[in-house]
Amino acid sequence: MNDGCDTETRQNAENFWIHQLVTMHPFGLNDKVTGMKGFASDMTMDKKENVKHYFSNPLPNAKHRKKPDNPCTAKNPKDKNLDIEVIDTTNAREMTQIYRNNKKSLANPIHDLVTKTVINKDVLLASHILATIKKSRNKNQQTVEKIPIYVKVDYLNPSLDKIGIRNMIHDSTIARILNIKDSNYKIVTVFNLVKNNFCRYSNYNNILRELDFEKLTDILSTDCQCSSSTHCNTDYGHVITGDTNIIECPKLSKQFENGTKHRQGFTITINKLRGILYKYGNDIVENFGRRTKMKKDTIPKIRNLVIDRLIEIGEQRWNKKIGPYDKIVNKEFVGRTGNHLQNYAITCIDKASNNFAFICKKFYLQTICHELGINVNSNITSIKGNETYICSIKNKEEIFNEYQQLYKEMDINADLTKLKIPLIFATPKFHKKPIKFRFIAGASAAVSKPLNITIVRILEVVKNNTVKYCDTIRERSGCNLYWSVNSSSQTNSMLQDMSTTAENDHLANDEQEVTTALGNGNAE
């Protein structure tokens, strides 16, 4: 029978794939797969043929993990019918493309072996086997995604991390009590971080929120003591500094030196730890019971078991890691600034957000009023606005009603009771001389936030379509029409590509110039 390939080619392909499929636990095949049974081609073409003759010996059972010296002569091999079908085509370009598409999803060692051993002799067989391995691997890798049940774990004290509160929740005994292993749920812990120093000490937001015309007039009409301060800025005649020596309290000054992103640890006692673990145990059972629709009669019993187990682990780890002490003390903790900095607006520095800036409160409000077009003279306040900021006579209720109507028309769900009108803030630019300010309008829960989120999602869809469109143009023409970058690493990658392209063009031009100058005979 003429099988379309010579004996040597068939024998090489046969020995290679029998050895690889049996001895390498084999590319994603599990113990239920024996020999080549169940292998089916996912390539659909007009003409197909059976290629049993590609393998003269049956494949051994794949569940035998031990490597035989010769897989073809293993003891008691089970005969298997080979139902492999592949394409019989002479289109080399088409078969090469099939091979390339399949090898992308496989590990490098696999397609390297195929390239060196089989691909040059039998593209057809290599393409088919790669496709069937890929299909079998995808079936085996299909796992049911478990539904997460989130439990918030507080970051309380750096020393308390030694106890490993986060790991306690994943204790095997607790998993057994809740019967998590046999369910489609899993417990996921997330950190509920305490306030950082910026949220704890910055006061510019409170200054602006509590401001009205009467307070504004009082502050601007009061003389400040900046002229006598050693931190006075000569360009403005007011205090604008990032020097923490302006703070008289040593403990508070040290916390400011730690930066805006630093989080302080609390003083923790063993009794407080028990209370924290009690709360975590209650949250676990409540969330798990709500998601799994647990019977209400069983919840109290399970809750007590989980809480007792958490407290037991907590006490054991406290005694082991902390020792006989019943308290972890953080002597450096400072909760508030008090009256030390009441005459200053505390904010962060532009381009150096981990640093604090201390600005005279009077000068800070004067700067914002000047930016908005607000003039305050004695007891008279005039709001004229300017080209950038237009004065509006609408009150808060009218603005919220407009947004409510807009969200209704756009079918956007928004609860306006928890939203606020954004304020404008001034952030100093210490890298400028004289110091300048960056003005930012916003709030953590601004009334325009639902609209902003919707617009960002729309623009993201437009961006993704533009990227795909430009990628297609680049593949077909070689011209890159998309130059937007998300990070500096993309910029470096682009510059390297451009440098390599320019270097290659330069070398090509040099070679052409040499050939032209010397003549073909001299160049040779």
* Domain range summary for the chain, segments of one domain joined by +: 7-140, 147-193+268-328, 197-262+335-442, 452-484, 489-524
* pLDDT confidence band for 392 (50 / 70 / 90): confident
* Percent with pLDDT over 90 in the chain: 29
DSSP labels for 481-506?
A: -----SSHHHHHHHHHHHHHHHHHHH
Q: Pick the more confident residue, 83 or 418.
A: 418
Q: Pick the more confident residue, 394 or 17.
A: 394
Q: Could you tell me if 416 and 447 are in contact, meaning their C-beta atoms sit under 8 angstroms apart?
A: yes
DSSP labels for 97-112?
A: HHHHHHHTTS-HHHHH
Determine the Cα–Cα distance for residues 337 and 514; give it in Å rounded to an integer.
75
Determine the Cα–Cα distance for residues 190 and 74; give it in Å rounded to an integer.
53
Q: Report pLDDT for 524.
A: 40
Segment among 189-203, 235-249, 307-321, 491-505 with least mean pLDDT: 491-505
- Burial class of residue 15 (count of CB atoms within 10 Å of its CB; 0-12, 13-18, 19+): middle
128-151: average pLDDT: 66
- Please give the order of strands across the beta sheet that includes 344-349: 232-233, 238-241, 352-360, 344-349
User: To the nearest 5 percent, what fractions of the chain are helix, strand and coil?
Assistant: 50, 15, 35
User: Could you give the count of Cα atoms lying within 13 Å of 388 in the half-sphere of its Cβ?
Assistant: 9
Q: Report pLDDT for 115.
A: 58
Q: Report pLDDT for 234.
A: 92
pLDDT tens figures, 147-167: 888 888 877 666 667 788 778
Determine the Cα–Cα distance for residues 174 and 166; give it in Å rounded to an integer.
13
Show the tokens assigned to 467.
């990227």
DSSP labels for 252-272?
A: HHHHHHT-TT-BPPPPEEHHH
* pLDDT confidence band for 295 (50 / 70 / 90): confident
Cα 135 from chain centre: 30
* pLDDT confidence band for 494 (50 / 70 / 90): confident
Determine the Cα–Cα distance for residues 101 and 131; give it in Å rounded to an integer.
9
Cα 211 from chain centre: 38
Report DSSP state, residue 162: G
Global pTM?
0.60
Q: Report pLDDT for 127.
A: 63
Q: Report pLDDT for 211.
A: 87
pLDDT tens figures, 91-129: 445 555 555 555 555 555 555 555 555 555 565 666 666
Q: Report pLDDT for 430.
A: 96
Q: Over the chain, what is the mean pLDDT?
A: 75
pLDDT tens figures, 26-66: 333 333 333 333 333 333 333 333 433 333 344 344 444 44
Determine the Cα–Cα distance for residues 103 and 96; give it in Å rounded to an integer.
11
Nearest 5°: CA angle at 31, between 25 and 32? 140
Number of neighbouring beta carbons within 10 Å of residue 30:
13
Residue 238 three-state SS: strand
Q: Report pLDDT for 431.
A: 94
3 state SS for 283-331 = HHHHHHHHHHCCCCCCHHHHHHHHHHHHHHHHHHHHHHHHCCCCEECCC
| Antiparallel, parallel or unpaired: β 268-269 and 327-328 | antiparallel
| Antiparallel, parallel or unpaired: β 185-192 and 147-154 | parallel
Q: How far apart are the first and last CA of the chain?
A: 53
Q: Report pLDDT for 60.
A: 42
* Percent with pLDDT over 70 in the chain: 66
Show the tokens assigned to 67.
């490597």
Q: Report pLDDT for 192.
A: 81
Q: Report pLDDT for 428.
A: 96
Q: Report pLDDT for 25.
A: 36
Count of residues making up the chain: 524
